[in-house]
Structure 1
Amino acid sequence: MADVREAIFAFIAARNPGLPSGAVTGETSLVTSDALDSIGILDLMMHLGDRFGVEIDEDSFDLANFASVDTLAHFIDDRRSDV
């Protein structure tokens, strides 16, 4: 799961170059924080799907999956294990 977490952090950092280091943690909500807008979340999901070979369907966009960086990392890691 650590590689998924790092991929999420790297994506957010690339998308927000002015974001201070450490501003996003494992507990940061991807829905309520300013880390990503709605388009950024869509792009992140497509990026993670491509990178880790998981299928992203409509059910993947449940807000519960974006409760935190760690929650999303667990979700992607679980999907990856199912492949």
Structure 2
Amino acid sequence: MVERHDIETRDAAREAIRAFILGRNPGLSSDSVTAQTSLVTSDALDSIGVLDLMMELGERFGFEIEEDAFALAHFESIDALASYVATKRVQA
């Protein structure tokens, strides 16, 4: 069963990721960055952007960045990364 705080964390992470992407790409419209936006194929982030994003998420949501954080599956969409953050927060 998914607990309420997991959903709240996922929602907060989704919004933090969207805000980060839009802050790094001021030319993007907010409508073009959805929960299904791929962080792999959309060119929303470069490699430094991925590192910066993960550091910010780790700090904001209180988890350590480990090697598994950079698995390609976590970057398939904003939703996928938000789910990863929610899982890591529960483990922290």
Which band: TM-score by shorter chain? over 0.9
Point out where structure 1 has 5 or more consecutive residues left out of the alignment. Answer: none
Instruction: Give the aligned length.
Output: 83
Instruction: Compute the TM-score of the two structures, normalised by the length of structure 2.
Output: 0.86
Distance 1:79 1:19 in 2: 29
SS in 2 for 1:22: helix
Runs of 4+ aligned structure 1 residues displaced above 6 Å come to none
Structure with greater proportional helix content: 2
- Alignment equivalent of 1:21, drawn from 5, 30, 36: 30
1:6 CA drift (Å): 0.5
Equivalent position of 1:79 in the other structure: 88
SS of the counterpart of 1:34?
A: coil
The one-letter code sitting in structure 2 at the alignment partner of 1:16 is N
Deviation at 1:25, TM superposition (A): 0.7
State the superposition RMSD in angstroms: 0.8
For residue 68 of structure 1, the aligned residue among 73, 77, 87 is: 77
> How far off its partner does 1:22 sit?
0.9
CA distance in 1, matches of 2:14, 2:30: 15
% identical equivalent positions: 61
- Segments of 5+ residues of structure 2 without an aligned counterpart are 1-9
**1:55 lines up with 2:55 in the alignment:** no
